[in-house]
Structure 1
Amino acid sequence: MSNSNKFSLINPAKAPFFYGYVVLFIGSIGVLASIPGQTVGVSVFTDPVKDALGLSRNQFSNAYMIGTLLSAFFVAKAGVLFDAYGARYVAFFASFFLGVSLLLLSVSVEISEGLQSILSLNSFMVPFVVMTILFFFIRFCGQGVLTMASRNMIMIWFDKNRGKVNSISSITVSLGFSSSPIFINKLIDDHGWEMSWQILAVCLFIFSFLVIQLYRNRPEDFNLKPDGVHKKRRSIKTEKAESNFSLEQAKKTRAFWMFGLALAFNSFFITGFTFHVVSIFASQDYSKSQAIAVFLPISVIAITVSTLCNILSDYISHKIYLYIMLASGVLASLGLLFLSQTFGVYMLMAGLGIFGGLFAVVNAVTWPRFFGRKHLGAITGKVMSFLVIGSAVAPSLFSYCFTSLGSYRYISYVTLAFLLFLLIGSYKVKNPQ
């Protein structure tokens, strides 16, 4: 216990209430702290930063894609570190180095100009490489490691009430993510993009201190049990109920691949849509304000679905959720295909809302429910690499369909074919437990 509580003034074993509720609060804040490394947090900086560096939109987007793809290969390894050292240290280093990366991004122009002077090379490749490396760090630390560690920690502290507490966390995270572009845009307007990244970095340094003080790896480290049940009160039957799968064992199950690929598809479609949302709607003669307005109903649907399905997840089979996710993906794809029609807009919003709401449930609750808690980091780390790859390639593929084929609608044929494959493959999915 002393090692689990090292460097902290707070002992969960002496808390007057179940410490898991503190974990729920600080872990949800941890997911929100990853926003500077998420697409929603980076996209607001795109125009001012690329102009300052002298990069075109394609060059800036490609640097983002390459940095994100590189981070995908290391996220799975971070999951192994999570299993070995726990959420506390992994989240601390992730938040601290995300802050360091933001400080470096704030002086990326000076770094690029300094390297160009040293190398006597006046080429776009210098700022391109600088941004690729820095994008790798913020995507790895933010979207990958900090998100995974924070979400997994919450799931480890709860079992029977896992769905209910995840509904609370999901609402907090959804509201935070949906409002973050407005907050960051205001920050940039008031202080400039350089100072904005520096302010966010200071916030992350403060949060990294809170991680050491409040994050805790497992309730068992303090003679506690998930959901607050004391060790002596947990029956022998319940103790033996959970089987813990290693990553290699999980990869041999159909459930791992079907759920993992369904989540990756969600990451792909939503990232591609969000990245090009104004252009997608402009191609069908919609205004920018009309394009941005779709996010409000999508968020309302997502929060409603997430809350309801998180609560029900403690009682019903998650295979039902997999089918609903795939059906909503079909709905969103058809909506994009028929976006020129009014009903297509509604189909797109409904599909994205349902898919996004279920994503929050499945990506948090399903993995410990199906494969146990012991190797949760390795398993979710591998799944996170699927998500990162999907989010990396989506903007370029969506852009290719538009620039080469003249319409975004053609991406729907690809997504519908992939969803058909997943629907067929999911027929025999079952809970490995």
Structure 2
Amino acid sequence: MKQLFHFLKSNASDVSFGWVLTFLSSFGQTFLISLYVPKIIEKFALTEGSFGGVYAIATIISSVILLSVGHTIDHKSVKKVTAFTLLGLACSTFLLGFSHYHIALLIISLIGLRLCGQGLLSHISLTVMSRHYQRDRGKALSIASLGYAMGEAIFPIGITTLIALYGYEIAARVSSVVIILYLIRLYFIDTSHFDNKASIAQKHSFRVLFSNLKAVIKDKRFLIIMPSSFTLSFTATAVFFYQYVFVQDKGWSAPLYATFFTAYALTRFVMSIFGGLWVDKFSARKLFRFYLIPMALGLLPFAFMEGIIGALLFLLFAGVTTGIAGTVKTAVLAEVYGVEKLGTIRSLFTMFMVLSTALGPLIIGMLIDYGVPFYGLMLFLLGMLVLATLNAQRIKKVAMVVEE
């Protein structure tokens, strides 16, 4: 821990940039959007299943767009890419505040939230931190990833209060103001040292981009790394999207469960720190083989325990996995592929991650409609995590890229 505090003291300004971006990405994350869902369903007279379909469509569209723009962080200035992303996120949250006029506005706002929030802000933050830091990459990524946990701990309280007092429209508009305030602050921040000097002047054609992405997909490393990231996002999003449906089916107390969610955020916060230290000490490749196991184990008490303590155990175990994942998923790409084209490579992996967040709620929602019991859903997700963990063991045969 001493090393982490020393690193933070020397690099507070730089790593805070990554932290703020993951913090603000909360506005496009499922956990925050889910707070609007009951009011949106009521406003448009939708069913849970139909809204899940709308959400899936918006997320899939955003993942495709992400693939075509994610590479810009490799050859455009960090400040310019970040500014456009923040502006897009602010416009999307503002549009959500007027979505009650027509469902088309709702769909457009959801596309923007998923693209700019969960997709691009996370992508920019973790790509820049991983590229800028080599020896201390784990520490930088862990501190940047703390923004996720802080967002989960802070934003739901504020957004829920605003929705209860003034409605979801006002809550969304206030969110856009928060984003605009940081966009103004960004104007005065020097980020030139984050730019990829080797390729900042290059303009990548779609042919070159397609060729690069095709080469990544055909490489065996892709089929070793991608399934773990996909499965984690699929599982976490599916569970958190329907968490209050599950709580209701179990007959558990919703307010008590909401209190337990704070324990999840705290666990994720702590494990984000330790994950970074462990990456620098043991390498991301070693942690990558085992980081899904805690969440897999947590699904068992969640599925089979009658008391709400089962939910607490799941949230604690899930916090361990998601905390470590915030560092490991990006660090392993840098170790295996290098950092020269990390933005392009990571955009491909991020696209599949975002795609999984669309498929998770959609598929689990369909299984719920077909009458699959709760324990059956959890066992299905457990099976996916086990298979992904077994596949991840193949990374032992993949060599690390030696950086100068």
TM (norm. structure 1) is 0.79
Q: Which residue identity lines up with residue 393 of structure 2 in the other structure?
A: Y
Alignment partner of 1:146 is 2:121:
yes
Question: Structure 2 vs 1, CA of residues 205 and 158 (structure 1 numbering), >3 Å: closer, same or farther?
Answer: same
- Correspondence 1:404-423 to 2 at 5 A: 404-423=370-389
State which of 188, 213, 225 in structure 2 corresponds to 1:213.
188
Q: Which residue identity lines up with residue 214 of structure 1 in the other structure?
A: I
For 1:406 and 1:278, locate their aligned partners in 2 and report how far apart those are by CA, in whole Å. Answer: 17
Alignment deviations for residues 104-158 of structure 1 (CA, whole Å, 9 cap, x no partner):
2212223x2xxxxxxxxxxxxxx2x432222112211111112211222222221
Structure 2 residue matching 1:40: 3-state secondary structure:
helix
The alpha-carbon deviation at position 248 of structure 1 amounts to 4.8
For 1:394 and 1:185, locate their aligned partners in 2 and report how far apart those are by CA, in whole Å. Answer: 24
Larger Rg: 1
Alignment partner of 1:354 is 2:354:
no
Question: Structure 2 vs 1, CA of residues 275 and 18 (structure 1 numbering), >3 Å: closer, same or farther?
Answer: closer
Question: Structure 2 vs 1, CA of residues 312 and 427 (structure 1 numbering), >3 Å: closer, same or farther?
Answer: closer
State which of 293, 297, 314 in structure 1 corresponds to 2:259.
293
Query: 1:175 corresponds to which residue?
Result: 150
Alignment partner of 1:60 is 2:51:
yes
The alpha-carbon deviation at position 162 of structure 1 amounts to 1.5
Q: Which residue identity lines up with residue 98 of structure 2 in the other structure?
A: V
Compare 170-179 and 26-35 and name the one that shifted more. Answer: 170-179
Alignment partner of 1:37 is 2:28:
yes
- Correspondence 1:93-132 to 2 at 5 A: 93-110=84-101, 112=102, 127=103, 129-132=104-107
Alignment partner of 1:374 is 2:346:
no
Alignment deviations for residues 293-333 of structure 1 (CA, whole Å, 9 cap, x no partner):
33233233322222112112112132331222232242133
Structure 1 residue matching 2:355: 3-state secondary structure:
helix
Query: 2:172 corresponds to which residue?
Result: 197
For 1:199 and 1:352, locate their aligned partners in 2 and report how far apart those are by CA, in whole Å. Answer: 30
Query: 1:120 corresponds to which residue?
Result: none
Query: Is contact 2:15-2:140 (8 Å) kept?
Result: yes
Query: 1:70 corresponds to which residue?
Result: 61
Query: Is contact 2:125-2:144 (8 Å) kept?
Result: no
Question: Structure 2 vs 1, CA of residues 294 and 54 (structure 1 numbering), >3 Å: closer, same or farther?
Answer: same
For 2:148 and 2:176, locate their aligned partners in 1 and report how far apart those are by CA, in whole Å. Answer: 20
Structure 1 residue matching 2:282: 3-state secondary structure:
coil
TM (norm. structure 2) is 0.84
State which of 314, 319, 335 in structure 1 corresponds to 2:280.
314
Query: Is contact 2:275-2:328 (8 Å) kept?
Result: no
State which of 223, 241, 250 in structure 2 corresponds to 1:257.
223
Compare 260-269 and 201-210 and name the one that shifted more. Answer: 201-210
Query: Is contact 1:255-1:431 (8 Å) kept?
Result: no
Query: 1:163 corresponds to which residue?
Result: 138
Question: Structure 2 vs 1, CA of residues 376 and 24 (structure 1 numbering), >3 Å: closer, same or farther?
Answer: same
The alpha-carbon deviation at position 102 of structure 1 amounts to 2.0
The alpha-carbon deviation at position 384 of structure 1 amounts to 0.9
Gaps of 5+ in 2: 1-7, 199-211
Alignment deviations for residues 243-301 of structure 1 (CA, whole Å, 9 cap, x no partner):
xxx65554444443333221221111111111111221332232212332332332333
Alignment partner of 1:338 is 2:290:
no
For 1:220 and 1:342, locate their aligned partners in 2 and report how far apart those are by CA, in whole Å. Answer: 48
Q: Which residue identity lines up with residue 381 of structure 2 in the other structure?
A: T
Q: Which residue identity lines up with residue 118 of structure 2 in the other structure?
A: Q
For 2:226 and 2:305, locate their aligned partners in 1 and report how far apart those are by CA, in whole Å. Answer: 28
For 2:354 and 2:197, locate their aligned partners in 1 and report how far apart those are by CA, in whole Å. Answer: 34
For 1:197 and 1:55, locate their aligned partners in 2 and report how far apart those are by CA, in whole Å. Answer: 20
For 1:343 and 1:323, locate their aligned partners in 2 and report how far apart those are by CA, in whole Å. Answer: 28
* RMSD (Å) for aligned C-alpha atoms: 2.8
Structure 2 residue matching 1:137: 3-state secondary structure:
helix
Q: Which residue identity lines up with residue 273 of structure 1 in the other structure?
A: V
Query: Is contact 2:272-2:326 (8 Å) kept?
Result: yes
Alignment deviations for residues 357-393 of structure 1 (CA, whole Å, 9 cap, x no partner):
1111113322223222221111111111111111112
Corresponding pairs, count: 380
Query: 1:236 corresponds to which residue?
Result: none
For 1:344 and 1:49, locate their aligned partners in 2 and report how far apart those are by CA, in whole Å. Answer: 30
For 1:392 and 1:22, locate their aligned partners in 2 and report how far apart those are by CA, in whole Å. Answer: 35
Query: Is contact 1:77-1:378 (8 Å) kept?
Result: no
Question: Structure 2 vs 1, CA of residues 168 and 18 (structure 1 numbering), >3 Å: closer, same or farther?
Answer: closer
For 2:385 and 2:47, locate their aligned partners in 1 and report how far apart those are by CA, in whole Å. Answer: 34
For 1:353 and 1:221, locate their aligned partners in 2 and report how far apart those are by CA, in whole Å. Answer: 33
Query: Is contact 2:216-2:345 (8 Å) kept?
Result: yes
Q: Which residue identity lines up with residue 157 of structure 1 in the other structure?
A: H
Query: Is contact 1:102-1:138 (8 Å) kept?
Result: yes
Query: Is contact 1:24-1:154 (8 Å) kept?
Result: yes
Query: Is contact 2:142-2:276 (8 Å) kept?
Result: yes
Alignment partner of 1:266 is 2:232:
yes
For 1:342 and 1:131, locate their aligned partners in 2 and report how far apart those are by CA, in whole Å. Answer: 35
Query: 1:21 corresponds to which residue?
Result: 12
